Amino acid sequence: MKKVSLLAPGPTPVPSRTLLAMAQPLIHHRSADFLEIFGKVRQGLKKVFQTENEVLTFCSSGTGAMESSVANLLSPGDKAIAIRGGKFGERWTEILKAYGCQPVNLDVPWGQAVKPADVAKLLADDPSIKAVYVQALETSTGVAHPIEELAKVTAKTDAVLVVDAVSALLAYDIPVDKWGLDVVISGSQKAMMLPPGLGFVSIGPKALKLMESSKLPKFYFSWAKELKNQTQNKGAFTSPVTLFMGLLDIFDYIDELGMQNIFAETGLKSKAFKAAMAALGLTLYSKECPSQALTAVEAPAGVDAQAVVKWLKEKYGIFIAGGQDQAKGKIFRVAHMGHISEFDTLQGISAIEMALAGLGYKFEMGAGVAAAQKVFGEAI
């Protein structure tokens, strides 16, 4: 099998030690040994989320966890704000409509962050709105929304704030309890450095209260059912034993590295990559609040961004991501989160230079790599 390098914003590389941890013999998901593992996972997730809230684990992608936040908080006909600044913000609207709720769409130009004052006005104009759904990081644009400020807005109302942090959690600091975030969602395949398959949901007191009045249908994604079981260190249904074993190793790895160090290293890789793109004469797609978890870059005039993505994949086995919907063909996206090293970043920059040159873009070859090396060197 051809060697591949993952620099796309998910799935990201898995540490070899974690792959070995997941290669252990399977145990039964109802055994005493697994109940012990489940208990350790619960405590580890609270540490990563920086919360005393219960963090539920579902065998699903992050989208499953997103769907659960609609099914367990709302009732048919309820209104909820969907902040739509990209492809994943639009997903909130799609889920709300699927459950018969009324999305109040707050459209934000792609590449820009939502203004908390706009959310405050919508809530003031219509106190019947039950929830505000937003991305911590809009993965399709590279923009980090101001969720701390949004939490201050919703704290003054009855509405709960639901944050999709699938790409953001562990890539940069999101202290759930300190910021008063009601619901925070994440997944295993991004900064958590695991294969896809686990969805996580941190549920705060305000959300638990709203959950009690929800009348939407739910079965597999029932928070009440999972809360009853998971507080006893077991899942309501079959748990993905192998991924739980991997998660335990990731928690050990996080403890060894230190969470603040992980945030700093992710930021350094982001700074180096962004400096490289500037040295190549390229501009960021995120015009404000660019995230350090990934970088969205505008392709130069005359170059199809999808051709850059294809070049890296076919010639070098390096996976980055292209744009979606209105950004397709215009941008490419490169991740800095998780188990991606400085040298992985330099390799990606070099490959992008080779692709751009091959596609006819004129620039000083090596300028991007040199700019990134300078950033890394100054941090030694």
Q: Tokens representing 40?
A: 């350790």
Question: Do residues 315 and 328 lie in contact, with contact meaning Cβ atoms separated by under 8 Å?
Answer: no
Q: What is the C-alpha separation between 349 and 337, in angstroms, rounded?
A: 16
CA dist., res. 201 & res. 62, Å (int): 9
17 belongs to an annotated ligand binding site: no
DSSP secondary structure letter of residue 325: G
Task: Name 169's Cβ contacts closer than 8 Å, sequence gap at least 6.
Answer: 48, 49, 136, 184, 186, 190, 191, 192, 200
Q: How far apart are the first and last CA of the chain?
A: 36
Q: In this structure, which long-range contacts are made by residues 98-103, counting pairs with CB atoms below 8 Å and at least 24 apart in sequence?
A: 99/70, 99/71, 99/74, 99/216, 100/76, 100/216, 101/70, 101/74, 101/76, 101/77, 101/216, 102/77, 102/78, 103/79
CA distance 77 to 380: 56
Q: Please report the DSSP string for 51-105 in residue order.
A: -SSEEEEEES-HHHHHHHHHHTT--TT-EEEEEESSHHHHHHHHHHHHTT-EEEE
Cα–Cα distance between 51 and 49 in angstroms, integer?
Answer: 5
Nearest alpha carbon to residue 308 among 281, 275, 334, 341 = 334
Q: Are 336 and 10 in contact (CB under 8 A)?
A: no
**DSSP 8-state secondary structure symbol assigned to residue 316:** I
Pairing of strands 131-135, 79-84: parallel
The DSSP secondary-structure symbol of 264 reads H
Q: What is the DSSP string of 330-346?
A: TEEEEE--SS--HHHHH
Among candidates 146, 163, 247, which has minimal Cα distance to 198? 247
From the annotation, which residues make up the binding site for substrate? 333
From the annotation, which residues make up the binding site? 333
